[in-house]
Structure 1
């Protein structure tokens, strides 16, 4: 009986990933809008919430070479790497995500013809800030509306303490953050070839 292999995702620093980028099949797990605004050269977009449907194609791609999971900060790619490890698919993750990649001077490739989209973190800041202002403004006439601002503030504290973001999960479901079925199918077909 062979011992089980450790499939814990390996974190690669941006410099390491850049040196060996041609050896990887790069999977960007951000939303389509984030991906369109700029991604690692040659990356394929499979949003994190669609990863489970892509497991057969990812297993086939991993059999042909190494996988590198990428997101904005490294959190979603770490989640993706753990999901892949649970499915017996080895993968590495880009430490610090595209933010660290750009900070170290590596280029991002925008999608041709795609509108420039905001990163999820920026969308969360806009939504949270707008809801706080709305709660405070409405609270001048209807005092209980101030609880909206308090609730958003408490949610942000919880988000920081748990390193999760419920608001990002909700925003990821908006149409501009969802992949079109044809785009996802094209990506999965490209992984099979």
Structure 2
């Protein structure tokens, strides 16, 4: 009979609050965009956006210790980062349940900056607007324009099945989601103390 061992990868906000005060070796890596990080982040966390982490996983792994918590908005990008790190030998990284908003709601210490819509909210607005536009245009202009709604639905289904988001990636490149402090790979990785 094969054993069914599952690795715990989630950490609740209350436990993280406790760990912040008790563990000096704790590294919190926020994998959201620099704009999202600037809007609100956990005090003491390090911003390494998922695209940078994906391209420089080995370099980042060299700086991480055994107590790593990955955070994003909801957990999707943090899980992608955890899988990347697991692939290079960092198999103890945990994902914060509820992301940064969940930590803030649990009374965690966060830093707030200029307020922006988070990327996931922008995706919902864009997808919903395109579906609505496709349906209205299909009714008022040409039935063929309903295909737009079908294409968006197909894209959302693919996004869920593959745990990726092409629309989110495209929106993250928009000017309103860029900040002057978008980190370079060296800046993002070197901000983490070596040998943590």
Fold match, TM over 0.5?
Answer: yes
1:70 — aligned with what? 71
TM-score, normalised via structure 2 length = 0.77
Checking the alignment, whether the CA contact within 8 Å between 1:135 and 1:146 is kept in structure 2 is yes
Checking the alignment, whether the CA contact within 8 Å between 2:71 and 2:99 is kept in structure 1 is yes
Asked whether 1:109 is paired with 2:111, we answer yes
Secondary structure, aligned partner of 2:112: coil
Aligned CA distance change for structure 1 residues 62 and 116 (closer, same or farther; 3 Å): same
For the residues of structure 2 that align with 1:171 and 1:138, how far apart are their CA atoms?
A: 23
Measure how far apart 1:95 and its partner are. 2.0
For the residues of structure 1 that align with 2:58 and 2:160, how far apart are their CA atoms?
A: 34
Measure how far apart 1:192 and its partner are. 4.3
Aligned CA distance change for structure 1 residues 34 and 142 (closer, same or farther; 3 Å): same
Aligned CA distance change for structure 1 residues 161 and 178 (closer, same or farther; 3 Å): same
Q: How is 1:19-168 mapped onto 2 (pairs within 5 angstroms)? A: 19-22=18-21, 23=23, 24-63=26-65, 66-89=67-90, 90-111=92-113, 115-139=114-138, 140-160=140-160, 163-168=163-168
Aligned CA distance change for structure 1 residues 62 and 99 (closer, same or farther; 3 Å): same
Checking the alignment, whether the CA contact within 8 Å between 2:54 and 2:81 is kept in structure 1 is no
For the residues of structure 2 that align with 1:53 and 1:9, how far apart are their CA atoms?
A: 25
**Runs of 5+ unmatched residues, structure 1:** 1-5
For the residues of structure 1 that align with 2:27 and 2:61, how far apart are their CA atoms?
A: 11
**C-alpha RMSD of matched pairs (Å):** 2.8
For the residues of structure 1 that align with 2:179 and 2:93, how far apart are their CA atoms?
A: 23
2:13 — aligned with what? 14
For the residues of structure 2 that align with 1:52 and 1:157, how far apart are their CA atoms?
A: 23
Identify which range, 28-37 or 166-175, moves more after superposition.
166-175
Task: Encode CA deviations 1:67-97: one digit per residue, 9 max, x unaligned.
Answer: 2110111121111111111111242221221
TM-score, normalised via structure 1 length = 0.78
Higher helix fraction: Structure 1 or Structure 2? 1
Checking the alignment, whether the CA contact within 8 Å between 1:68 and 1:94 is kept in structure 2 is yes
For the residues of structure 2 that align with 1:66 and 1:160, how far apart are their CA atoms?
A: 29
**Runs of 5+ unmatched residues, structure 2:** none
Measure how far apart 1:57 and its partner are. 4.5
